[in-house]
Chains A and B, each alone.
Chain A
Amino acid sequence: MKLKLRIKGKEYQVEILEERNEVKIKIGDKEFSFEKEEKEEIAIAQVSFPKRNFSKKEIKAPIAGIISEILVKEGDFIKKEQKVLLLSSMKMENEIVSDFEGRIKEILVKKNQEVKEGDTLIIF
């Protein structure tokens, strides 16, 4: 694949050659080659880590207690502020509401299960 690139008014001829395990990029008379698989892996590792942190939607136990009721199912679409489960804790009843809107991917707890503070309960 040949491309023309114009950078700051100057035109460059760029040629991208894909071979089995290698990608060659020729710019003018300079040639750069990259090993394909390795590069891809690094690229994924670099971009996916922070991305996952930013978009991770999950509900965690705000305090230790016992799950007394689960009010939603995997696959349910949940609105923001919707009640998702009841957690009995320190002799109080706690309604856990969702901070997110979205479809529930996984419920990691069962009724009557004991949870610690910070345990992940629901993943979106």
Chain B
Amino acid sequence: MKNEKLQFKIKNFKTLPSTNQKAKEIAKEKLEAWLIIVAEEQTAGYGRKQASWYSPLGGLYFSVVLPKSNIEDLQTLTILAAFIVAKVIKANFALEPLIKLPNDILLNDKKVCGILTENVIGKDVRFSVMGIGLNTNIKEFPKELQETATSLKIELGKQVNNLEILKQIVEGLNDQLKGISE
């Protein structure tokens, strides 16, 4: 997968505890910006304050290793990521996403996407990863989540193409980061 500006490298995993965790492990060994870690399911997906993120097969779970940036730009990027995901949802489907800044996207008042940026900092920012969990093809949620979570499949009544959505989000992120880091 590529656009004019960069080559995305994607590492696919069947199952991972967490894509952010894996991305951090890999970046600690060797920092490679724009490496994307994708998992078909997460067994220990999490959001802010270690809140768990329901991540069964069908959803889109990925983390992007970000180029070294200053901390303010990373916050901006997190907010922009929410806009990008909302834009991709709106552009591809007849849905009205609502952005709950800076980390969540809602559809009909229910969470459809969560974003978690994690930075590893010593004297300066060593590296950052941004994890995005998008409930795409999740058929149904467990009872305790039904009031608060939804998926594109539930809202649309049909399957969506995870890879195409992934590609559009990452390209959008890259465009935005170029703009704020220059």
Q: Which residues of A are interface residues toward B (Cβ below 8 A)?
A: 62-63, 68, 81, 88-99
B79 to chain A, nearest CB (A): 8
- Distance of A50 Cα from B179 Cα, bound (Å): 43
B53 nearest CB across to chain A (Å): 13
- Closest B-chain residue to A63, C-beta based? B71
Q: Cα distance A91–B79 when bound, in Å?
A: 10
Q: Do B116 and A93 touch (CB < 8 A)? A: yes
Return B50 CB to nearest CB of chain A, in Å: 8
Residue B180 is within 8 A (CB to CB) of chain A in the complex: no
Among the listed stretches B3-11, B119-127, B138-146, B163-171, which one makes contact with chain A, having 4 or more residues with CB under 8 Å of it? Answer: B119-127
Give the CA-CA distance A40 to B71 in the complex, in Å.
47
CA distance in complex: A106, B154 (Å): 52
B178 on interface, CB distance cutoff 8 Å: no
Hey, which chain A residues are within 8 Å of B116, CB to CB? 92-93
A93 touches B124 (CB 8 A): no
Answer whether residue B32 sits at the interface, using C-beta atoms and an 8 A cutoff: no
The prevalent SS among residues of B at the interface is mixed
Closest residue to A80 on the B side, CB-wise?
B122
Please determine whether B119 and A92 come into contact, CB atoms closer than 8 angstroms.
yes
Chain B residues positioned under 8 Å from A91 (CB to CB): 48, 75, 78, 102-103, 117
A71 to chain B, nearest CB (A): 13
In addition to A91-B48, A96-B122, 8 A-B residue pairs with Cβ atoms within 8 Å of each other are A62-B123, A62-B124, A81-B122, A91-B78, A93-B118, A94-B118, A96-B121, A97-B122
Asked if A92 and B117 make an inter-chain contact with CB atoms under 8 angstroms apart, the answer reads yes
* Nearest CB on B from A57, distance (A): 12
Q: Min CB distance, B74 to chain A, in Å?
A: 7
**Within the complex, which residue of A68, A95, A99 is in contact with B119, where a contact is CB–CB below 8 Å?**
A95
Name which residue of chain A comes closest to B75, CB basis.
A90
- Which partner residue on chain A sits nearest B74 by CB separation? A92
User: Could you tell me the distance between the alpha carbons of A90 and B103 in the complex, rounded to whole angstroms?
Assistant: 11
CA distance A97 to B118 in the complex (A): 13
A sample of 12 inter-chain contacts (CB < 8 A) reads: A62-B121, A62-B125, A63-B121, A91-B117, A92-B74, A92-B75, A92-B78, A92-B116, A97-B120, A97-B121, A99-B122, A99-B123
